[in-house]
Structure 1
Amino acid sequence: MTSSTMETTDIFRGAFYLCMGGHLEDIRFAGNGKQIASFMFTGPDLAEHDRAYRDGHALVNPLQFREALNHLRDILFNHLRKRETRYDRTRKDRPYQSHG
């Protein structure tokens, strides 16, 4: 069993990595005008699992996969909300801004 690191922008592939014992290490954002999330995973044998995924030989428990996908979506949307709040300078709910 060898530990490996994988990066993907595919949330389904990321959910698969979680099902196969991977651990989400980080989410990075990049893009020109669009925010593109890149998921960073570490875990045992991820390179081999990735090969099985690409070859169409990957098998997972569907309930576990759905839960992993929902978990990644929750984490992603929480990160996006934090980023929007941090960079949104036009919010109307600040007491010193007019509401008219």
Structure 2
Amino acid sequence: MLETLNTSDLWLGGYILSESDAELKDVQVSFEGRESILFNLQGENLSELTKSYYKQEALANVAELRNKLNFLRDIIFESRRQRKIGR
């Protein structure tokens, strides 16, 4: 069964993307006041992966985790760049 997860935790998002077939469905960036970002992920077993992450029992392929973290960071940096261009 497909689940949806919204998180602002970069590491959780990277972990879930690296260890499942989850997809990044949407990214919401807010620059009002303090900058915030919300990743919207969809896939199977997201609640189980989230539990293992917060229980500090998560295991991950380090190379894949690094790739997914860089992917998410690129999205963040691109949104910042677009904001500066739009000024």
Verify the 8 A CA contact 2:19 2:61 in the aligned structure 1.
no
Question: What TM-score do you get using the length of structure 2 for normalisation?
Answer: 0.89
Q: Does 1:81 align with 2:78?
A: no
Distance 2:49 2:33 in 1: 32
Match of 1:11 in 2: 10
Q: Give the superposition deviation at 1:84.
A: 2.6
Amino acid at match of 1:82: Q
Q: Give the superposition deviation at 1:61.
A: 0.4
Gaps of 5+ in 2: none
Verify the 8 A CA contact 2:29 2:35 in the aligned structure 1.
yes
Match of 1:55 in 2: 55
Distance 1:31 1:82 in 2: 12
Match of 2:42 in 1: 42
Going by fraction, where is helix more abundant, 1 or 2?
Answer: 2
Distance 2:66 2:18 in 1: 10
Question: What TM-score do you get using the length of structure 1 for normalisation?
Answer: 0.78
Structure 1 runs of 4+ with >4 Å offset: none
Residues 34-70 of structure 1: per-residue CA shift (max 9 Å, x gap): 1101111001111111011111111000111111101
Gaps of 5+ in 1: 89-100
Distance 1:7 1:18 in 2: 13
| C-alpha RMSD over aligned residues | 1.4
Q: Give the superposition deviation at 1:32.
A: 4.7
Distance 1:77 1:44 in 2: 28
**CA radius of gyration, larger in:** 1
**Percent identical residues:** 30
- Of structures 1 and 2, the one with the larger relative CO (CA 8 A, separation 6+) is 2
Distance 2:51 2:31 in 1: 27
